[in-house]
Amino acid sequence: MNFTRNSEIEQDFQLREQNRHREFAPVWDETLEAVFADVAPYYDIASDVASLGLCSAWRRRFTRAIGVGAGDRVLDVCAGTNGVGIALLARQPDIKVTAIDRSAAMQAEGGRRAKARGFSIESHVDDVHELPFPDDSFDVVTLQFASRHLRVIDVFSEIRRVLRPGGAFYHCDMLKPENPAVRRLYGMYLKGCVAGTAMMFGSGNEARSCRDYFVRAIELFYSEAELTRLLNGIGFHQVTSDSAPGGILAHHRAVKPQAV
Ligand SMILES: C[S@@+](CC[C@H](N)C(=O)[O-])C[C@H]1O[C@@H](n2cnc3c(N)ncnc32)[C@H](O)[C@@H]1O
């Protein structure tokens, strides 16, 4: 872990990252891969059902907000079933999309989906805490619905490294609502959702056992404003965001400065 390397990052964030890692390492290192292998075939529909359509509405809104031009090199981090890459290629076929995700099952499903639409996405099955790409090698980097499962300071620092100066990072995830009452309601709703979806889709034991983790991961995560401060601390600038009511999820856009 190297998240203390940037002294611009507030100490509070560094401590919170240590706490997240301490509490979640067993799930991150041992359970999540089995969960995503299990849910890969029905991941997209299950997340839609669980969120009553909110997820797909925000996915569409997120991909619409991503600025890509002809010839752009796009990296989708934690690409899962390639939802972001496929949506971007449908809008602008003249881009090169690279996907990275630790789950071979999610990427196999994503490869099938891309092929069915006539698209080609370069796939890397690997952990994203150290990105296997040279510095400054992408114009756009995206990361959707996965940061809660990551050491974010490390991954965001890697994303900044592989982006070219002037390139943009687009982030979307469920976040920690600022308001404690909203936070409590959101937690109860999430617990019910995970249990209901697991039953409906016949998920395996790993997915069922993660019910408490999914709620706790949000409790220890960042709010929209905190994520903005964190991105600035990591060395991005022009950070903007757009959130759903109550701050339950948000998009951020952050630019790597030209002169670094
Ligand atoms: C909830 S899915 C989101 C997938 C996709 N971005 C989307 O929006 O549909 C989270 C993904 O993060 C991946 N993931 C979690 N931890 C990872 C890690 N350390 N390295 C690489 N991928 C990871 C999982 O395999 C899974 O595919």
Reported as a pLDDT band with limits 50, 70 and 90, residue 205 is low
Q: Measured from the CB, is residue 103 less than 6 Å from ligand 1?
A: yes
List the beta bridge partners of residue 182: none
Model confidence band, residue 4 (pLDDT cutoffs 50, 70, 90): very low
User: Quick one: pLDDT at residue 45?
Assistant: 77
80 lines ligand 1 (CB under 6 A): yes
With a pLDDT cut of 90, the percent of the chain lying above it is 69
pLDDT tens sequence across 206-216: 666 677 888 89
Give the rounded percent of residues in the chain with a pLDDT score beyond 70: 91
Q: Establish whether residue 82 lines the binding site of ligand 1, counting it when its CB lies within 6 angstroms of any ligand atom.
A: no
| C-alpha 110 – ligand 1 centre gap (Å) | 12
Our answer on whether the CB atom of 128 is closer than 6 Å to any ligand 1 atom is: yes
Residue 2 confidence (pLDDT): 47
Q: Give residue 212's pLDDT.
A: 84
Greatest Cα-to-Cα distance within the chain, rounded to the nearest angstrom: 52
More confident: 171 or 248: 171
Q: What is the mean pLDDT of residues 102-108?
A: 96
Nearest CA-CA partner of 113 in 142, 83, 79, 89: 83
Question: What is the pLDDT at residue 203?
Answer: 62
The pLDDT of residue 3 is above 60 = no
pLDDT of the residue at 37: 86
Residue given tokens 């959702």 in the structure block: 193
Ligand 1 atom 20: residue of nearest CA: 127
Interval 27-71: pLDDT, tens: 999 888 888 888 788 777 777 777 777 778 888 999 999 999 999
Long-range contacts formed by 6-10: CB under 8 A, 24+ apart = 6/153, 6/157, 6/233, 6/234, 6/235, 8/233, 8/234, 8/235, 9/153, 9/230, 9/233, 9/234, 10/229, 10/230, 10/233
Beta carbons of 76 and 82 less than 8 angstroms apart:
yes
Q: Average pLDDT of 100-124? A: 97
Average pLDDT, integer, range 188-205: 72
What is the distance in A from the centroid of ligand 1 to the CA of 259?
Answer: 31
pLDDT of residue 22: 96
pLDDT of residue 102: 97
pLDDT beyond 80 at 82: yes
With a 6 Å cutoff on the Cβ, whether 102 touches ligand 1 is: yes
Average pLDDT over residues 124-147: 98
Tell me how far apart the alpha carbons of residues 216 and 228 are, in angstroms, rounded to a whole number: 21
Q: Which atom of ligand 1 is nearest to the CA of 76?
A: 6
Q: What architecture is domain 11-255?
A: 3-Layer(aba) Sandwich (3.40)
pLDDT of 92 higher than 80: yes
Nearest ligand 1 atom, CA 107: 27
Tell me which of 54, 149, 214 to substitute to probe ligand 1's pocket, judged by most ligand atoms within 8 Å of the beta carbon.
149
- Look over the chain and give the mean of its residue pLDDT values, rounded to a whole number: 90
Average pLDDT over residues 122-150: 98
Higher-confidence residue of 4 and 22: namely 22
**Contact in structure between 246 and 174 (CB atoms under 8 Å):** no
Pocket test of ligand 1: the residue of 102, 121, 193 to mutate, having most ligand atoms within 8 Å of its CB, is 102
**Residue 146 Cα, ligand 1 centroid: separation in angstroms?**
5
Residue 55 CA to its chain's centroid (Å): 13
Tokens of 160: 């900044």
